[in-house]
Structure 1
Amino acid sequence: MQHTHAHTRRCPACDGFPVAAITTGARHRDGSRVTIRVTCPSCRGTGHAAPAPVLIRSGR
């Protein structure tokens, strides 16, 4: 069973894994693969979601 904590605000787009290494298919001279790093555009690479805006009612 997986437990989630209320105080954890993971980014819903990347689920807390904000940076991914993607191979391009090319290889370096030593045989290793060429990779590029891509960050999540929603959280800008932090892995955390921004706090939800609070709705305040005023008046009657």
Structure 2
Amino acid sequence: MPQRAQNTPVCRDCDGFATAAITTGTRDRDGSRTTLRIACRACLGTGRAASVAVLARAGR
């Protein structure tokens, strides 16, 4: 089945998967595992890359 082309640029560091849930190994009182949500530092959790114009403007 053909896939549609993606119009938004994807972050190079996280490939669009901007947040990850990591288990700490400990459990809460209800028995569920304690997790940490970690966001990508490059895109700040959006999953999208910043445009070149934004990068050039921020660098000056």
Q: Structure 1 length normalisation: TM-score?
A: 0.73
Shift of 1:8: 2.3
**Structure (1/2) with the larger helix percentage:** 2
Aligned length: 53
| AA matched with 1:20 | A
Q: Percent identity?
A: 53
Q: Structure 2 length normalisation: TM-score?
A: 0.73
Secondary structure of 1:7's counterpart equals coil
Task: Structure 2: state its 5+ residue gaps.
Answer: 54-60
Task: Structure 1: state its 5+ residue gaps.
Answer: 54-60
- Alpha carbon RMSD of aligned pairs, Å? 2.0
